[in-house]
Structure 1
Amino acid sequence: MISESPLVSVVVPVYNTEHYIRKCIDSIVNQSYKNLDIIIVNDGSPDKAGEIAEEYSEIDKRVKVIHKKNGGASSARNYGLEIAKGKYTCFIDSDDWLNSDAINNLVTKAIKEKSDIVMPDRFNKVFLNGKTREELLFPHYEEIQSIEDFVIDIIIAKGRAWRVSSVLYKTDIIKNNNVKFPVGYTAEDVVFNLEFLSNASKFSVLKESTLNVNKRVNSVTASYRSDLPEIALFIDEKVEDFISLNVVNRDRANIAKDSLLRRNVILFITLEMSNKNNKTYAERSNRIHSVLNMTRVNEAFNRKEYIQPYWNSKLKIYYAGLMDCLIRNNFKATSILISRICNSFV
């Protein structure tokens, strides 16, 4: 245990997780690091999750519960940030849980290296059958020295380090620069990280797992979304904001930015052609063509250079590479058909 123990605020947005929330809160209140300011935001949950959270506030004075109308995870996290008093802030989703030494290890790293942000480089993915797999978030970062390089090479080029859960942030950077989660977007984590890192001076990476993530079939990230093109373009705008403010050499940054947008468009095509979408094939195809014909999307795919993502599935990497090649060479209808065929096997 470190000799210095600054207060750490832990913000937990809660919605429809009554079957998971006890394990989540237990993992926080039982941390080996004790100086915690635990803020649980009940985002209008229709189940008993808010009531369960209140039970903990009655027996542990560190726990505060806020009840609000449903506004999404971003809104809930922003509410928590408003009352966060810790020197550092950490976010946890209410269906996940922390390892017992997670916060102690994060704070130790932050103090030792005088960091504004500490990111774990891995997490444990927990499946419905109970099996667990450790998954790397980003490898080969040892040679990266600056925040600019980390953002360009890892967050944008490789599409990694987007998650805010179990990342340790210096609270005054958030509050002094009015860094908030954008409401209404599923990619709120990466936007928050981009804005925070635009105002940070020092980052550190923790080479161990801190977080256990439940892979639920009914979670937000596992569901079909009809607004993925808008989200992809929104992320593209935020990436451009970071590059404009922080990057001197735009060549490498522009390649990374275009590669990210292309991958996000391929993700949109894949989900648009999934069995979870009830529209007809013609409707799906027309919508995909309309997105592929957008000026900004065309600009990205016209670039010859392409950076492969860091994904833990080689099959997904090959699929994305094939789709990118087809679209870039104007075989758009073929790419749609390939996506439909691949979806039929999932």
Structure 2
Amino acid sequence: MEKRPTSNSTILSLQTTPLLSVIIPVYNVAEYLDRCIESVIKQSYANLEIILIDDGSTDESWSICQAYKKKDNRIITLQQPNSGSSVARNTGLDIATGDYIAFIDSDDYIKQEMFQTMLSFALTNNITVVECSLIQSNKNTNSEISSNGESFIETQEEAIERLIRDKNWSVWRRIYRSDVLSNLRFIPGKIHQDVFFTIDVLNKIEKQGYIAKAFYVYNTDNESITRSAYNIKKLNAKDAPYYVFNKTQQYNLLIRTLASKYLIRTLLSHYDRLFLNNHLDENYIHRKEIKSEITDQLNLEYENNSLFGTLAKISPFWLYKIILNLNEFRIKIRLMLLKL
């Protein structure tokens, strides 16, 4: 892992400034959309192509997009029937003409120096993908950009190892040279679409840059499907960690082991939630399947054992439910004691 400074932004003034296409899918976010668009048009880096894809909004979002288009000739707007953010992002990719591509979710926003710093880092170090840190909106301060350490360049394996450990899959925390994405698209209908896309990107590149400054502000107020109450549709999301596992089998033992642990943790998360929402799986059909999948992973020759994974493997359902309820009670008591 190579450490690199991020303070040198003069590279952008010493050569032709590349066009950066910023793709923003929009759906019923009128409350947050002004803040998002303003944060983009006020970037210190000006050579932008700002693509607003309205995904069939039923609030004032489309009107807001059109109003900004009239004020800034860098903005392109397009409206489509509601098809999901994957399709909206793909629509943006199809019409983008930039040398680099970035994604932003329309309820989030970014710090003013984000694109200037990331593009400078990419050009200075001849890197096709650069990632930055993020901060949650409920922890954000306007006066500073927090830093979580030194910036660096990492190999493909180092990047994949870090992402599996930290689960930093979000596509909006990166900029991409456009040729990297030339034959990649998002899979429609996937809950965790970013996982698939990011693994595909990392499998194409030799190295990635990381900037340890929180330029991206992630909105914690707006509810999304990933943050809403558990339902049976979310069970389909277990295909994302399976994709990570299957797409990392060519790497070293550590990465394969981490991918297996990541899969087990996700399977356990669904397993536990089904016990806490028994009405979703009254005949234990899904829990039987998940238990078998956890057992398969634990039988691999990896050091991937976990206490609750082993308990799920060996315990009958009635016993596991008692253990889970006792653990939930233990956590509640601990939280109550911490508040005293």
Place the TM-score, normalised by the shorter chain, in its bin: 0.7 to 0.9
Counterpart residue identity of residue 83, structure 1? I
Give the gaps of 5 or more residues in structure 1. 308-320
Alpha-carbon separation, structure 2, partners of 1:324 and 1:163: 27
Trace 1:271-286 onto structure 2 (pairs within 5 A): 271-274=273-276, 277=277, 280=279, 283=282, 286=284
Trace 1:1-346 onto structure 2 (pairs within 5 A): 1=9, 2-3=12-13, 4=15, 5-120=17-132, 122-127=133-138, 131-132=139-140, 145-151=154-160, 153-156=161-164, 158-175=165-182, 178-216=183-221, 218-223=223-228, 224-244=230-250, 247=251, 249=252, 251-274=253-276, 277=277, 280=279, 283=282, 286-294=284-292, 296-303=293-300, 305-306=303-304, 322-330=307-315, 333-340=318-325, 342=328, 345=332
The number of residue pairs the alignment matches comes to 315
* Secondary structure of the structure 1 residue equivalent to 2:232: coil
Q: For residues 206 and 225 of structure 1, do their structure 2 counterparts lie closer, same or farther at Cα, with a shift above 3 Å needed?
A: farther
Assess if the C-alpha contact under 8 Å between 2:51 and 2:76 holds in 1.
Answer: yes
Q: CA deviation at 1:179?
A: 0.8
Cα root mean square deviation, aligned: 3.0
Write out per-residue CA displacement over residues 117-165 of structure 1, whole angstroms, 9 at most, x where no aligned residue. Answer: 0011x211123xxx438999998996x84202321x2223x14221111
Q: CA deviation at 1:25?
A: 0.3
Alpha-carbon separation, structure 2, partners of 1:97 and 1:182: 24
Q: CA deviation at 1:291?
A: 2.6
Counterpart residue identity of residue 105, structure 2? D
Q: For residues 293 and 27 of structure 1, do their structure 2 counterparts lie closer, same or farther at Cα, with a shift above 3 Å needed?
A: same
Compute the TM-score of the two structures, normalised by the length of structure 2.
Answer: 0.82
Q: CA deviation at 1:334?
A: 4.0
Counterpart residue identity of residue 36, structure 1? L
Alpha-carbon separation, structure 1, partners of 2:147 and 2:320: 28
Compute the TM-score of the two structures, normalised by the length of structure 1.
Answer: 0.81
Q: For residues 149 and 166 of structure 1, do their structure 2 counterparts lie closer, same or farther at Cα, with a shift above 3 Å needed?
A: closer
Partner of 2:6: none
Q: For residues 238 and 281 of structure 1, do their structure 2 counterparts lie closer, same or farther at Cα, with a shift above 3 Å needed?
A: closer
Assess if the C-alpha contact under 8 Å between 1:229 and 1:291 holds in 2.
Answer: no
Q: For residues 109 and 227 of structure 1, do their structure 2 counterparts lie closer, same or farther at Cα, with a shift above 3 Å needed?
A: same
Q: CA deviation at 1:79?
A: 0.5
Q: CA deviation at 1:221?
A: 1.7
Q: For residues 57 and 233 of structure 1, do their structure 2 counterparts lie closer, same or farther at Cα, with a shift above 3 Å needed?
A: same
Alpha-carbon separation, structure 2, partners of 1:326 and 1:139: 38
Max Rg structure: 2
* Secondary structure of the structure 2 residue equivalent to 1:47: coil
Alpha-carbon separation, structure 2, partners of 1:185 and 1:108: 33
Q: For residues 234 and 281 of structure 1, do their structure 2 counterparts lie closer, same or farther at Cα, with a shift above 3 Å needed?
A: closer
Q: CA deviation at 1:253?
A: 3.2
Give the gaps of 5 or more residues in structure 2. 1-8, 336-340
Counterpart residue identity of residue 240, structure 1? N
